[in-house]
Amino acid sequence: MSGVDGWLRRALPGRCAFCLAALPGEAPWCAACFAELPWNLPACDGCGEPQPPAQAGLRCGRCLRRPPTFDRARVPLRYTNEVAGLVQRFKFDASPRAGSLLLELLMTRLSADARAWPEALVAVPLHPRRARGRGFDQALWLSRRLALRLGCPLVSAQRLRDTPSQRGLDRGERRKNLRAAFVVPATLPGRVALVDDVVTTGATLEALAVACRRAGAREVEAWAVARTPLHDR
């Protein structure tokens, strides 16, 4: 049993984390609830954008026209329904139970090859002023535990500017808002995975990927728990 599974089963022994049904096995959820979660399938493997079924296995038109600055996105869930509720409790209420569930859901969708791929993780950083105001850094929380699970180092990035809120901005406005917003003060290894809780347009991860390449990374992947569908932005 994983450490996250053990924590969840101590918190709710023998019960599904979603419907509270009795559980016969070790997983923290029942098979029915797990199957009904809003899985991000199919999705563009370039940016993680949800795609219609006919586009399965293909990159989206936006990635074909302008590939993102990271090489690949791994985002297993869509930010809706139960997942949106979990993210909100984790992000705004600092719920360790919600965070542990999100981490475990992410791990279930990382193949053995994906888990072995990164030579370092980099969390999307909050500006220190915003981190103090919120009192909780959700990307750092996830990244620390993910690094322990994968057995790879976590390298710190810095947000140079306390950028205005991204809410209500389109993709181009978000890119402009985040230009030169990040720096990685250490030299990075060749393969790096960026970690965040939710991807909206991908602009934040793109800006951080640029900083990581400047610090020496040759290949960069973007990892997050959930992606906001286009119609919900």
Q: What are the structural domains of the chain?
A: 1-36 (no CATH), 43-232 (3.40.50.2020)
Return the beta strands (E) in 29-140 as ranges: 72-74, 77-78, 120-123
Average pLDDT, stretch 187-211?
Answer: 95
Helix axes 96-108, 81-93, angle to 10 degrees: 130
Q: What is the pLDDT of residue 180?
A: 72
Reduced to 3 states (helix: H, G, I; strand: E, B; else coil), residue 167 is coil
Average pLDDT, stretch 14-26?
Answer: 87
**For residue 201, what are its two tokens?**
């347009």
pLDDT of 66 strictly over 70: yes
Q: What is the pLDDT of residue 1?
A: 39
pLDDT of 162 strictly over 70: no
What distances in angstroms separate CA 184 from CA 120, 137, 147, 191, 199, one per listed residue? 12, 18, 17, 14, 20
Mention every residue, 6+ apart, whose C-beta is less than 8 A from residue 156.
122, 123, 125, 184, 185, 186
Q: What is the pLDDT of residue 5?
A: 45
Share of the chain above pLDDT 70, in %: 82
Please count the CA atoms within 13 angstroms of the CA of 73 that sit on its side-chain side.
Answer: 35
Helix (H) or strand (E) holding 224: strand 219-227
| Mean pLDDT for all residues in the chain | 87
Average pLDDT, stretch 97-124?
Answer: 96
pLDDT of 25 strictly over 90: no
Q: What is the pLDDT of residue 160?
A: 83
Helix (H) or strand (E) holding 183: strand 182-183
Q: What is the pLDDT of residue 129?
A: 72
Q: What is the pLDDT of residue 169?
A: 47
Average pLDDT, stretch 155-180?
Answer: 65
